[in-house]
């Protein structure tokens, strides 16, 4: 059977990446159940959090088995594979890469040796002291790496796994509780040894993690959808700074650090599924309220309100309710075009986003359309959307965005575009309006967005909007998605230079050093680094070169267009 390679047919432009969010983690302890299949369906419900690779590890109490590959959950696993993953404990992961490149060696769960067995670990989030952790691993292992690091794994997750080895003076749990406070950044871990399932969440609680109950055991997952899909009832969230252990004696809880909550506000805006609840607040209700608040702050005359599917739908419903303008579905989305390995022809490539989204002419023609989306990052998606609406006869297109302008990259688990690519950094509202070809453009205010979440401002991370990072960042040269790849390349280059024959021309060595330095210099500015973002990315890969060019003769934004 052909295996997934992570290259879906909606990658219509060479070099463009598909949907990019963060990661989904899942764990289950359930004697007598087919835990691999429970993990499969749990990951299936968390697929929106990561689409690059997927993996499941299981334990029968004596031995851990793991299977992982590139691609979607449904592409990686089949019946035979799942049947071979036996046991009563399982850990699963669906990945979007935030540290380390997107290739097989970096797929999760990661495996590592412990002092008395094996650990399998899945991670959602992103650590910011990766360089420090690499130093700790080097101190313990010496210059010859072992385990997954030796096999080419360049993720922060592999470093944590290696550091869980411990020594003979400590139990595995003691090793974990000693290590967790040393990790800086965002992490939700689900991990296991041969006998026990564990879950841990950083003291800031940046990413969500929940605990559920099965009749025969326990489940942990990134979101409630992972619980509901396998028939588990929601018990509670794992608390910031908490580690739980689950075995035949039930659930044990230990706090390894004092909680300092700073949950990601973008979970409410875009990342989490609408049926999630985070810190007792419904994500769906938050998004509907963002739409209502958007209408209060930025009214516009229109005949219909339509969403950009699917993430703009709740906010569009709220906007319609508050404004009194009828809600309508203005687009039909083909949910299946991106689920095949058959590559489109050149003719189909030119259709771009139309392979996945079509405007409904009978609904749109002659209407003043208010189109609601969750965010603007580069502006390419909105430009294509506006063009499609005009092509089917929209009389006017007013774009409303249910989050403030995105101006800063995220270092805690979302791979936004670089600051240079974020359209809100280099253009005014009027200029963005003209660039995307809309008649007007308006964003919700930061206060309005926060109010919709019903969370205190001080308990939220709003760094992508404000540039205020709750977890202090290290120097730029110790940040970046490819930090470990750079380190490995630099070490290899240093070795190559040091081993050059002494009698060789000095200019040869100088040339090598010059090339390395230029390459490193281009990559070191981590604040400017980034890839395709989570928001917008659903259609980003489908866009044609034309969609990426600002519209030349767009309608000028009317006076009073505001953020």
- Judge whether 531 is annotated as a binding position: no
Give the C-alpha distances (Å, rounded to integers) separating 168 from 117, 253, 274, 337, 533.
12, 23, 46, 53, 44
Q: Is 461 annotated as a binding residue?
A: yes
Measured between alpha carbons, how far is 497 from 507 in angstroms, rounded to an integer? 12
Beta bridge partners of 217: 214
Rounding to the nearest 10 degrees, give the CA dihedral for residues 69, 71, 73, 74. -110
The strands making up 185-192's β-sheet, listed across from edge to edge, are 110-113, 118-127, 185-192, 197-201, 242-247, 250-255
Q: Check the annotation: does 374 bind a ligand.
A: yes
Q: Which residues contact residue 62 at a Cβ distance below 8 angstroms, ignoring those fewer than 6 apart?
A: 194
DSSP state of 515: H
Handedness of CA 383, 388, 392, 394 (dihedral sign): negative
373 is in an annotated binding site: yes
User: Is residue 374 within 8 Å of residue 270, measured between CB atoms?
Assistant: yes
Rounded-to-integer distance, Cα 153 and Cα 234, Å: 34
**CA 304, chain centre distance (Å):** 32
Beta strands (DSSP E) in 96-141 are 110-113, 118-127
d(CA 224, CA 45): 9
From the candidates 23, 94, 188, 531, give the one annotated as an active-site residue: 23
- Give the integer Cα–Cα distance in Å for 400 and 349: 29
C-alpha to C-alpha distance for 319 and 305, rounded to whole angstroms: 8
Active site residue 188: no
The binding site comprises 264, 311, 373-374, 410, 461, 464
Give the residue numbers annotated as catalytic, written as ranges. 23
The binding site for [4Fe-4S] cluster comprises 264, 410, 461, 464
The binding site for Mg(2+) comprises 311, 373-374
């Amino acid at each position: 059977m052909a295996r997934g390679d992570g290259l879906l047919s909606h990658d219509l432009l060479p070099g463009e990446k598909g949907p990019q969010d963060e990661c989904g983690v899942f764990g289950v302890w359930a004697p007598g159940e087919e835990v691999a299949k429970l993990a499969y369906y749990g990951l299936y419900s968390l697929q929106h959090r990561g689409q690059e690779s997927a993996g499941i590890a299981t334990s029968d109490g004596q031995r851990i088995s793991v299977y992982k590959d590139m691609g979607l959950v449904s592409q990686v696993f089949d019946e035979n594979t799942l049947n071979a993953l036996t046991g009563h404990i399982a850990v699963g992961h669906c990945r979007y890469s935030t540290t380390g490149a997107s290739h097989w060696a970096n797929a999760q769960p990661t495996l590592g040796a412990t002092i008395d067995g094996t650990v399998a670990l899945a991670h959602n989030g992103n650590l910011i002291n990766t360089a420090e952790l690499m130093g700790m691993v080097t101190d313990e292992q010496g210059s010859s790496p072992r385990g997954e690091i030796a096999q080419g794994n360049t993720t922060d997750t592999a470093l944590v796994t290696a550091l869980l080895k411990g020594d003979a003076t400590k139990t595995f749990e003691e090793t974990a509780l000693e290590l967790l406070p040393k990790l800086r950044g965002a992490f939700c871990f689900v991990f296991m040894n041969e006998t026990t399932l564990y879950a841990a969440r950083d003291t800031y609680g940046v990413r969500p993690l929940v605990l559920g109950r099965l009749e025969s055991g326990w489940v942990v997952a990134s979101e409630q959808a992972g619980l509901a899909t396998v028939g588990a009832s929601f018990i509670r969230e794992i608390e910031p700074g908490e580690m739980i252990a689950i075995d035949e004696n039930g659930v044990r809880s230990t706090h390894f650090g004092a909680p300092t909550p700073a949950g990601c506000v973008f979970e409410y805006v875009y990342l989490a599924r609408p049926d999630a609840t985070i810190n007792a607040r419904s994500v769906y209700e938050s998004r509907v309220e963002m739409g209502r608040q958007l209408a209060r702050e930025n009214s516009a005359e229109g005949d219909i309100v339509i969403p950009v599917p699917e993430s703009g739908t709740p906010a569009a419903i709220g906007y319609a309710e508050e404004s009194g303008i009828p809600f309508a579905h203005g687009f039909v989305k083909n949910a299946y075009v991106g689920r095949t390995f058959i590559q489109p022809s050149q003719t189909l490539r030119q259709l771009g986003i139309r392979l996945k989204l079509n405007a409904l002419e009978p609904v749109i023609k002659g209407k003043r359309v208010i189109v609601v989306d969750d965010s603007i990052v580069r502006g390419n998606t909105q430009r294509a959307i506006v063009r499609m609406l005009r092509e089917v006869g929209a009389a006017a297109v007013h774009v409303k965005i249910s989050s403030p302008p995105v101006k800063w990259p995220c270092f805690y688990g979302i791979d936004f575009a670089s600051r240079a690519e974020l359209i809100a950094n280099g253009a005014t509202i009027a200029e963005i309006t003209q660039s995307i070809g809309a008649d007007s453009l308006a964003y919700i205010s930061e206060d309005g967005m926060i109010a919709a979440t019903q969370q205190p401002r001080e308990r939220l991370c709003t760094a992508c909007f404000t540039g205020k990072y709750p977890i202090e960042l290290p120097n730029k040269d110790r940040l970046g998605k490819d930090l470990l790849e750079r380190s490995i390349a630099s070490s290899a280059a240093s070795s190559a230079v040091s081993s050059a024959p002494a009698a060789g021309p000095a200019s040869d060595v100088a040339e090598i050093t010059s090339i390395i330095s230029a390459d490193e210099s281009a990559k070191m500015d981590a604040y400017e680094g980034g890839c395709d973002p989570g928001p917008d990315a659903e259609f980003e890969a489908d866009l044609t070169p034309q969609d990426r060019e600002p519209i030349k003769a767009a309608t000028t934004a009317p006076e009073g267009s505001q953020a």
